[in-house]
Amino acid sequence: MIIDIHSHTPNFFMDVDEDITDTGSVNQSMRPDGGGIKFKFSEIEHRKGTKEADKVVVFNMYIGKNPNDATADYVKTDPERIIGFMGLNPKLPHMLDELDRSFYDLGLKGIKLGPIYQDFHPLDKRAYPIYARAEQLGLPILFHQGATFPRKAPLRYANPILLEEIAHDFPNLKIIIAHVGNPWCDETNVLIRKQPNVYADISGLFYRPWQFYQALSLCHEYGCMDKLLFGSDYPIATTEETITGLRNINKVIEGTNLPKIPEDEIEKIIYRDSLSLLGLK
């Protein structure tokens, strides 16, 4: 069974303010084919783009608009296959009510947070009640900790190491660091190796082959490959492109003496039962 742990809710376009969309002079081409980011996509496109996955997790961040009803509506189209996570904004006052509504009424089963996009420090005390309730209800939290392009997104909130205290304070909370914390993949590996409740997803990374190889190579050397979860970050990449990217990971070192990442470890990532690891089964 293939479980895609990271994809975005179709038909929901984030209502971001101008500050966060100002990308300055950064080239936004992150698609494997060199094209621009496709932020607008339909349910049909999402199904097609993730069709290799037997189960797929969908979510969007709570920036401006509340994404949770759109996510729940999409889950309803195929509840056997689609698992919805909620977006929450710790800076808004009613977020515990929204967490409860999204869990009890909408049936959403995890949380997506993006401190750099949402402009909060991961250790902000306003976020702590969310962590506590998530731990109590068994909701994993997927954090976007890592690089981004909007000029105003505060990088001081971006390093994955910032999550360590949360992992300590909430030992039963499952934490996932998206994209292996790119470009702080070493920091992510240090963290997932020593904190039992912290995982990383490998989404959105294979099209930077050297960085992808180094991230997984260190993870393999640390012996923590079992903490890596499969995800595509659709619409950034499809599930199929991500599987192919994983299987091609050693191409970048062909003709060198650098150590190969064992193929069986790569296959284990592709077929990992992430839902069981995260307590969602």
Tell me whether residue 164 or residue 233 sits nearer to Zn ion (CB atom).
233
Angle value at C-alpha 168, between 162 and 170, nearest 5 degrees: 105
Residue 241 binding Zn ion, by CB under 5 A: no
Binding mask 200-239 for Zn ion (x = CB under 5 A): ---------------------------------x------
Closest distance to Zn ion from the beta carbon of 145 (Å):
12
Query: Can you tell me the distance from the alpha carbon of 183 to that of 269, in angstroms, rounded to the nearest whole number?
Result: 20
Burial degree of 183 (CB within 10 A; 0-12, 13-18, 19+): middle
DSSP state of 141: E
Closest distance to Zn ion from the beta carbon of 231 (Å):
8
Tell me whether residue 90 or residue 146 sits nearer to Zn ion (CB atom).
146
The residue with its CB nearest to Zn ion is 233
Closest distance to Zn ion from the beta carbon of 253 (Å):
27
Q: Which helix (H) or strand (E) holds 193?
A: helix 185-194
Closest distance to Zn ion from the beta carbon of 11 (Å):
16
Tell me whether residue 87 or residue 90 sits nearer to Zn ion (CB atom).
87
Tokens matching residue 17: 């303010």
Tell me whether residue 4 or residue 233 sits nearer to Zn ion (CB atom).
233
Alpha-carbon separation of residue 78 from 44, 50, 57, 105, 260 (angstroms): 12, 13, 12, 17, 39
Tell me whether residue 5 or residue 261 sits nearer to Zn ion (CB atom).
5
Tell me whether residue 5 or residue 162 sits nearer to Zn ion (CB atom).
5
Closest distance to Zn ion from the beta carbon of 5 (Å):
10
Share in percent of the chain as helix, strand, coil (round to 5): 40, 10, 45
Closest distance to Zn ion from the beta carbon of 184 (Å):
16
The three-class DSSP label of residue 243 is: helix
Question: Could you list the residues that contact Zn ion (CB under 5 A)?
Answer: 233
